[in-house]
C-alpha cells in the first residue's frame, strides 16, 4: 500500500535515527574502533540488517523510503525495483510491494553457472529501475550494481538507501558523475543529534564521534597507524 501522508524530510531523518538507536543498530566505540569492509577503522557502526527483525520499525521506514522517492522523483517514475545483493534485497522487496512494481535483485558478481546472470528476476530494455540498498558510504559500491542494471538495456538514474553516511563529500559526486541521484532517510549527523537528545551515549563518546564525523579521512589515517 502506498502511503498518502508523511512527515517532513527533517522529521523523517530524526525519526529514522531514533528507530535505529532504539534497536541498537547504531554502535559508537572510540576506545575500540570498528573495522569496516574497506579495512579502515571507524568509531561508528551501523547494521541496517537488524531492521528486518523489527516489523513495526521496518514497516515505518519502508513507508518513509517509498514516499521519499515518490516525492523526490515522481509517483509514476519507475517500472522496476532492484535490490543489491544481499542487504538491499529485503528492502527492495518491501518497497516494490508498496509501489506495486516488479522486483529484481542484482548480484555482486555473476554466479558462475547456468545463465551466469547478475540480474535475478525479470528486467527488460528501457525499464526505469530504482536501485534500493541499505546504506551508502562513499557511493562507490553502487556503481557496479548500476552498471549491471544498465547492461540489460534498462535505465537506472536513482538509488535509495535508508542510511547515507553523509560525511564523505565525494559520495554524491561519484554517483552524479555516473548519472545517479541519491535518496536517503538519515545520516550520521542526524543520528549524532538524536543520540545527544536521548542520552544514548555519554558525552565523551559523542565528542569523539563528532571529531570523526568532521574529518573522517584524517581520523582514519591517524588510527590506521595505531
Residue 166 belongs to a domain: yes
Residue 2 belongs to a domain: no
Q: How many domains does the chain have?
A: 1
Residue 4 belongs to a domain: no
Residue 62 belongs to a domain: yes
How high is the mean pLDDT of the chain?
91
For residue 171, what are the domain limits?
Answer: 9-224
Q: What CATH number has the domain bearing residue 176?
A: 3.40.50.2020
Flag the least confident range among 79-88, 114-123, 166-175.
114-123
pLDDT in tens, 51-61: 999 999 999 99
Residue 14 belongs to a domain: yes
What pTM was computed for the model?
0.92
Residue 3 belongs to a domain: no
Residue 19 belongs to a domain: yes
C-alpha–C-alpha distance, residues 142 and 138, integer Å:
9
pLDDT in tens, 13-29: 999 999 999 999 999 98
Amino acid at each position: 500500500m502506498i502511503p498518502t501522508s508523511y512527515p517532513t524530510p527533517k522529521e523523517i531523518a530524526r525519526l529514522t535515527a531514533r528507530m535505529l538507536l532504539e534497536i541498537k543498530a547504531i554502535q559508537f566505540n572510540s576506545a575500540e574502533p570498528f573495522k569496516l569492509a574497506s579495512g579502515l577503522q571507524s568509531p561508528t557502526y551501523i547494521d541496517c540488517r537488524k531492521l528486518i527483525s523489527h516489523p513495526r520499525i521496518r514497516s515505518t521506514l519502508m513507508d518513509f523510503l517509498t514516499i521519499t522517492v515518490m516525492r523526490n522523483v515522481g509517483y509514476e517514475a519507475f517500472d522496476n525495483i532492484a535490490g543489491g545483493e544481499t542487504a538491499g534485497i529485503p528492502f527492495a522487496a518491501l518497497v516494490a510491494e508498496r509501489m506495486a512494481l516488479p522486483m529484481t535483485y542484482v548480484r555482486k558478481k555473476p554466479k558462475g553457472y547456468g545463465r551466469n546472470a547478475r540480474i535475478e528476476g525479470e528486467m527488460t530494455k528501457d525499464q526505469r529501475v530504482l536501485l534500493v540498498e541499505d546504506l551508502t558510504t562513499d557511493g562507490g559500491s553502487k556503481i557496479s550494481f548500476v552498471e549491471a542494471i544498465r547492461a540489460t538495456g534498462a535505465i537506472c538514474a536513482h538509488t535509495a538507501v535508508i542510511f547515507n553516511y553523509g560525511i564523505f563529500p565525494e559520495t554524491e559526486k561519484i554517483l552524479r558523475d555516473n548519472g545517479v541521484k541519491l535518496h536517503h532517510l538519515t545520516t550520521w549527523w542526524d543520528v549524532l543529534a538524536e543520540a545527544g537528545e536521548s542520552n544514548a551515549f555519554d558525552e565523551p563518546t559523542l565528542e569523539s564521534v563528532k571529531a570523526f564525523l568532521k574529518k573522517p579521512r584524517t581520523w582514519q589515517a591517524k588510527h590506521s597507524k595505531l
